[in-house]
Every structure is written in C-alpha cells, then in structure tokens.
Amino acid sequence: MAINVTTDADLAVQYQNYFSKKLLTYAVQALVLDQFGTKAPLPGKSGHKAISMFRWDVPKATDINTLTEGTVGSVGDRDIALTKISKTLIQRGQVVKLSDILNATDLFSSLQQSVKINGQDAAIDMDNITRNILVGSNVGDNVNSGATAMEGGYSTDPATNLDNGDSLTEIYADGTKQSASGGEYSTFETLATDATLLDGAAVLNAVTQLKVNRAQPTSGGMYACVASPQVLSDIMQDNTWLNAAQYSNVEELYKGEVGRLFGSKMVMSTNGFITADALGTDADRFIYDAAAGGGTGNTKDVHATLFLGEGAYGIPELASQSPFSPKIVITDSADKSDPLNLTITAGFKCFWTALRQNTGYYVIMRSKTASTA
C-alpha cells in the first residue's frame, strides 16, 4: 500500500492557503478608511488591472416642471449624467524572514506572528494610499516617504494633482478656503498656533460645507471625520464634545470612533496626512512627511483631516476570489541567495488603490495642533 508523505513543500502550500485568510482578517481589523469607501469588485482577469465605478449627478430640481392637465409635453425631462471613473491598481508587498532555528522550534507559531505583522503593515499601507489619493497626492511606488514618492508634480492649482475632472474642497481651520490661484496655505503656515487649531467651530464649518454640497451622511444621519490623535486632542477640548463611551451601548461604533461633535462621528487614525513645518508654499500641502511632528512657534506641522459623506470615494472589495486579493507567499527552499536554507520567508502581496468618486462629498480641513506629540 502506498504511503503519502507530507513534505516541507506540501506544508508550505497548506500554510499559504490558511494564512492568506488570516492575513485578510488581520488587515481588515486594522483598516480605518475602508469603512467609508464604496466597495468596487477587483478585476477577475489578469488583463484588467483597474477598479471602476460610476459617478452620478448630484440631486437638483432644475428639470421639474409644473404639469398642465392632459398635456404630456409639460413633463420635465431629467437627463442623468453618468460618468465612469477608473483607477489602476498598485501592487504592494513585503517579506518577513524567519531563521531556521526559529522554524525548528515552532514553525506554525512563527508564521502566525509574521502573518499578523504582515497584515497590520498591509492595513497601514492601504490606508496610506487611500489617504494620499483623497488629499490630492497621486501615489507613486512608495507612499511612505517624502515628495519624490508622489506622481504628478505639485502646483498651487490642486487640479494638477487630480484626475477624472476632480476638484478638492479644502478649508483651513481659520475658515479660509483654498482657491485655485493659491496663497492660502503659505499664509496659514505663518499664523499663530492658537488661530489654526481644529475646534468645534471648524468642525461645524466642515459639516455645513458637506450639507451645502448635498452630501448624504455616512451612517445614522451623521457624517464621519477621520483625524490624527493630535488633532483629536484639540477637538476634544470643545465643551459640546460627546465621548463614544456615553453612547456605545446603544449603537455600533466605527473602528477607531472616539466621539461625536456637531453631526460628525470622530474617528482616530494614526496615519494622518501631515505636511512638515519646514515647508512653506501652497504646493507643499500635497507633500506627506512621515517624520513630521512637533515644532514650535508659528511654523508647526499642518495636519489634513477628512470629513466624509456617503459615496465620497471607492476602494477595492477585499473579500473576493480575485487573483488581485491579498495573499501570503511562503517560501522554504534553498537557492543561490540562501544555499544552506537558513531562512524561511513569509511575505504578502496585494493590489490596492482608491478613486475619488464624488469630491464634493468630502472636505479636507487643514489645521495645526496644540499637541507636542
């Protein structure tokens, strides 16, 4: 009778299938911005490397007529403009190396931990890409470094960094709106910190703008605000702030939800878009600086906070059988780079992007912060 022998290679395949599902679980648990994006199916064929969705007209009443009894021609004709928008997927990935000694003691536990790290890192990366696209920085191959990582160059006109005919709604904490001609960011950076904090009045201003734009709330009749811990520490000083602990027993919370204010649920993200205090032109507001933080005087870093309505942007649907879904790749075989097979690698690869579905349905609020963190 033939005996089936399970080899290391067989185990690697079995582990890949198991841990690919675990990777997805770890990633989804840590994602923040995926909660508010419209989900678009990943392409099913390798020849298509983009997600697509439609942009519908905003509500209006200009084609509604007063009807005349018995007259068909008095009925107003509403032409619905339907615009297809697409965004090419970006392939991302990394590898965690495990030593042969670690493998010999407890391979499964080692892989479990490395997959957890990969999943959490993947979530940060996906949120970074989504965040950068929403604030107008078209993402290049490396979204985690400085200005050279961004495609499209920089301009005082935000349309230079956009696509699909988009334009951004940018408001500063002092109430100033960004214009196409520029100059607002440069002026804002020179203002004293006390005049540039995101407080209750600034939150109300952003929510009011969403209502003026006829953006629908994201959940429970409320909009969503995604802000950095530093900015939230300023907002929480408002005497009308309602902590999430005061209502969490009666309604479901978003991941990262910490409270609410003026019709907006406040959600914390540790991946805030921050422009370094060393920069000073309008073009610099598109540049993410991972090392930004702190600063003194009138030149503190500028944070971008997102106020979101329903249908503001689209992202890929992760839970699918598409070949573009996140996957774990485990390698346990010697090659020229590792002839003694001293390591086993557990890496992930995935495709991700985000597209601005309706830029009028979200507001970028730029502010400084009193926090020194």
Q: 228 by DSSP, 3-state: which?
A: coil
Separation between Cα atoms, residue 192 and residue 184, nearest integer Å: 15
pLDDT tens across 97-143, in order? Answer: 777 666 656 667 777 778 888 888 888 888 888 888 888 775 433 34
Under 8 Å between Cβ of 95 and 347? yes
DSSP assigned state of 26: H
Q: Would you state the torsion angle of the CA atoms of residues 198, 202, 204, 206, taken in this order, to the nearest 10 degrees?
A: -100
**Closest to 342 in 3D by CA, of 352, 331, 334, 351:** 334
Separation between Cα atoms, residue 128 and residue 353, nearest integer Å: 10
Separation between Cα atoms, residue 184 and residue 162, nearest integer Å: 19
DSSP assignments along 65-108, one per residue: -PPPTT-GGGSPP-PPPEEEEEEE-EEEEEEEEEEHHHHHHHHH
Instruction: Judge residue 57's burial from the number of C-beta atoms within 10 Å of its C-beta, 0-12 exposed, 13-18 middle, 19 or more buried.
Output: exposed
pLDDT of residue 313: 93
Count of alpha carbons within 13 angstroms of residue 246, beta-carbon side = 7
**Closest to 314 in 3D by CA, of 44, 160, 129:** 129
Q: How would you label 100-125 residue by residue, b for 16+ Cβ within 10 Å and e otherwise?
A: eebbeeebeebbeebbbebbbbbbbb
Separation between Cα atoms, residue 135 and residue 151, nearest integer Å: 13
Separation between Cα atoms, residue 368 and residue 191, nearest integer Å: 10
Separation between Cα atoms, residue 255 and residue 369, nearest integer Å: 23
pLDDT tens across 228-262, in order? Answer: 999 999 999 988 898 888 887 767 889 999 999 99
Q: 322 by DSSP, 3-state: which?
A: coil
DSSP assignments along 186-204, one per residue: HHHHHS-GGGSB--HHHHH
Q: 250 by DSSP, 3-state: which?
A: coil
**Closest to 360 in 3D by CA, of 51, 45, 59:** 59
Residue type, position 68, single letter: T
DSSP assigned state of 222: B
Residues of the chain with pLDDT under 50: 1-11, 139-160, 294-298
Separation between Cα atoms, residue 28 and residue 70, nearest integer Å: 57
Instruction: Judge residue 189's burial from the number of C-beta atoms within 10 Å of its C-beta, 0-12 exposed, 13-18 middle, 19 or more buried.
Output: buried
pLDDT of residue 257: 92
- Give Cβ neighbours of residue 124 (< 8 Å, ≥ 6 apart): 30, 271
Which residue has tokens 């209750």?
200
pLDDT of residue 319: 65
